[in-house]
Amino acid sequence: MAKFMSLADAVAENVRDGDSVAMEGFTHLIPFAAGHEVIRQGRKHLTLIRMTPDLIYDQLIGMGCADKLVFSWGGNPGVGSTHRIRDAVENAWPHPLAIEEHSHAAMANAYEAGASNLPFAVLRGYIGVDLPKVNPKIKSVTCPYTGEVLATVPAHRPDVGIIHAQRADREGNVLIEGITGCQKEVVLASKRTIITVEEMVDKLDAPSFNSTVLPHWTIGAISVVKGGAHPSYAQGYYTRDNSFYIAWDKVSRDRDTFLAWMKENVLDKTPDAFAAHAKRSA
């Protein structure tokens, strides 16, 4: 049952050291504010799951929150590398980072299987490639009808699923519209959930581009955090802050510059700081 609370309380109640945590958002609606709160609260030993670990995972990993990354494509989209993730994988800084690597298709199917309460997903994938040689989680089943061998991956069942959405009504039903990625599946597959939203409204006004509704009884915590997806975008609210993505390349290349930036912009701030971003690029 959805419970409205501050983001600080939502993270304190729901994210524990050692948890597996999926923060999703396919370019759109990336839960930056929630990620910052996890960093501020100093969570450790997380297994971070995400199809496209980009800046928010670069920050979490650079700050030493994670022991393991489960992913399918890691980079600063349109810009280049995620330097903190590379530094962790290549140089074990700030400490070693184990990786479990999949393809997008496998990750999407693994969330779908989790939402469907199945222990594994079947896909026509991983054919002729090297990933199954280095990821023992990729296995196979034989079709009982055709004899065809198909790839399998275990379902994702994160301890905590975290997403950002456009709005919630007072009952706690949440609307996502535009590019919805795999956010519905993440919420349905996770044991606990945190959803940050741009605003609380009286009525969801559901019919819209690809509108997707999560009923209140599928949700744990909801926190209103205006601008909470910055520097990514929230369709209908504000656009992507491309300059931030470009600037991040420079910030994240150097460990000290990175740490200084994190102190100033994350550790010494609160979720309210995001509201300014929503205004700036609206």
Partner 1 sequence: MADFTRNEMMTIVAARALKNDDVCFVGIGAPSAACNVARLIHAPQITLIYESGTIGTRPNVLPLSIGDGELCETALCTVSVPEMFRYWLQGGRITVGFLGGAQIDKFANINTTVVGDYHKPKVRLPGGGGAPEIATNCGEIFITMAMGKRAFLEKLPFITSMGHGPTGAERRALGVKSKGPTRLITDMCVFEPDPVTMEMTIRSIHPGVTREEIAENCGWTPRYFDNCSETPAPTAQELEVLRDIQARTKAAHAA
223: β partners = 196
Euclidean distance between CA atoms 36 and 230, whole angstroms:
11
Read off the DSSP letter of residue 217.
Answer: G
In the list partner 1, a second copy, none, the entry touching 166 (Cβ below 5 to 8 angstroms by class) is none
118 binds partner 1 (CB under 8 A): yes
140 binds partner 1 (CB under 8 A): no
66: β partners = 46
Binding site for a second copy (CB under 8 A): 117-120, 122-124, 137, 139-146, 148, 150, 152, 154, 206-209, 211
Alpha-carbon torsion, ordered 194, 31, 98, 63, to 10 deg = -110
In the list partner 1, a second copy, none, the entry touching 168 (Cβ below 5 to 8 angstroms by class) is none
In the list a second copy, partner 1, none, the entry touching 18 (Cβ below 5 to 8 angstroms by class) is none
209 binds partner 1 (CB under 8 A): yes
Sort strands 20-23 and 160-169 into parallel, antiparallel or unpaired: parallel
Q: Of the listed pieces 7-15, 130-138, 194-202, 266-274, which binds partner 1 according to CB under 8 A?
A: 130-138
Beta strands in the chain (DSSP E): 3-4, 20-23, 46-50, 66-71, 98-101, 120-123, 139-142, 149-154, 160-169, 174-176, 192-201, 212-214, 221-224
Choice from 27, 68, 93, 269 touching partner 1 (CB under 8 A): 27
In the list partner 1, a second copy, none, the entry touching 134 (Cβ below 5 to 8 angstroms by class) is partner 1
Of 13, 43, 4, the C-alpha closest to 171 is 4
Interior/surface letters 167-182, b for 16+ CB within 10 angstroms, e for the rest: bbbeebbbbbbbebbb
4 binds partner 1 (CB under 8 A): no
Which is closer to a second copy, CB of 99 or CB of 122? 122
Mask for 262-281, x = binds partner 1 (CB under 8 A) = --------------------
Sort strands 149-154 and 221-224 into parallel, antiparallel or unpaired: unpaired
Which is closer to partner 1, CB of 18 or CB of 236? 236
In the list a second copy, partner 1, none, the entry touching 217 (Cβ below 5 to 8 angstroms by class) is partner 1
Of 35, 38, 56, 24, the C-alpha closest to 214 is 24
Choice from 41, 116, 257, 265 touching partner 1 (CB under 8 A): 116
32 binds partner 1 (CB under 8 A): no
Could you tell me the two tokens for 56?
């928010």
In the list a second copy, partner 1, none, the entry touching 94 (Cβ below 5 to 8 angstroms by class) is none
Euclidean distance between CA atoms 194 and 197, whole angstroms:
10
CB of 274 to partner 1, least distance (A): 18
Phi-psi region of 177 (alpha: psi -120 to 50; beta: other; left: phi over 0): beta
Interface residue list for partner 1 (CB under 8 A): 1, 26-28, 51-52, 71-75, 77-78, 81, 85-86, 89-90, 101, 103-105, 108-109, 111-112, 115-118, 123-131, 134, 171, 173, 178-182, 184-185, 188, 206, 209-210, 212-213, 215, 217-218, 233, 235, 239-240, 242, 245
